[in-house]
Amino acid sequence: MDFTKSIFENSRRMPLVCAHRGSSSGNIPCNTLAAFNAALMQGADMIELDVAVSADGKHYVFHPGMEKAYLKSETPIRAIPSEAVGGLRFFNPDDTKTQFGVVTLEEAFRFLRGKCYINVDKFWTDVPGISRVIRACGVEKQVVVKTGTTEEELRQVRRYAPDFMFMPIVRGRDDVTDRLVADGVNCIGAEVLFRTLDEPCCSAEYVHEMHRKGRILFVNAEVYDCTAVISAGLTDDVSVAESPEKGWGKLADMGFDVIQTDWSGLLRQHLRSRTAKAGC
């Protein structure tokens, strides 16, 4: 990845592949350095990770609320001191404890430095604290941060992280990116969520206008809950179970610049195949 270019420039040839929590399978849990390395081996351009904060304010790579599912712990990380978080271990899908522990955000940043873009989810849980870790690790040029669009969330971004690559998470319609750019925020585009294909944030007109302004559009193909529709059914599930063209192909044709997936290798293979067929 050429970090001397903008993320918009880097996504012109084909959509960038964002690995949702890395690439986890078998005994390799998500949100671990092993999962991140697997994603890199499969050609991911960007890795998404989640941030949880311990009781004493230390930042870890973990999806808050998933402690029972992944760690077999009834206690959330936010209620556990960091010395105890270090002793936790992930369990694999066979309900067997693995050797993998919960890594700190600093460890993850240092591991990924210079290798790919890093999409920081749950940034809104501690904008000033996570911003300090990003700066301390020197990954400002790689990190893409995001929040919702409440006034308080955007106020925090303006105050603590206006220089970071930022994407608001918009649902259905984008009413904020122009305003953020006018306010001096480094708003590189938007993460868009849409239930149907007739919503404004996935229209050809909106995509064209965002590209005209040099901004990217990030879309989610991963399925974290089959009842939560966030990309109008153009998902990993339909791409893997039926045909890549029914999901990933349609998202690419709609002009999305970054596709987030739980199947990095398969998506990368499909995008390369399409590009080759197009003679690019």
Confidence of residue 1 (pLDDT cuts 50, 70, 90): confident
Mean pLDDT of 47-59: 97
pLDDT, tens only, 164-178: 999 999 999 999 999
Q: Which two tokens stand for residue 160?
A: 């603590």
The per-residue pLDDT for 278 is 79
Mean pLDDT of 9-20: 94
Residue 140 has pLDDT above 60, yes or no: yes
Helices (H), 13-168: 33-41, 67-71, 82-85, 105-112, 127-137, 151-160
| Strand spans (E) along 135-193 | 143-147, 165-171, 189-193
Please tell me the distance from the alpha carbon of residue 94 to that of residue 41, in angstroms, as a whole number.
24
Residues 6+ apart with CB under 8 A from 76: 52, 64, 65, 67
pLDDT, tens only, 217-232: 999 999 999 999 999 9
Helices H / strands E in the chain, number of each: 12, 11
Largest CA distance in the chain: 55
pTM of the model: 0.96
Residue 4 has pLDDT above 90, yes or no: no
**Of 188, 266, 232, whose CA–CA distance to 17 is shortest?**
266
Task: Please return the burial class of 184, using the count of CB atoms within 10 Å of its CB with bins 0-12, 13-18 and 19+.
Answer: exposed
What the chain holds in terms of domains, given with CATH numbers, is 7-50+115-277 (3.20.20.190)
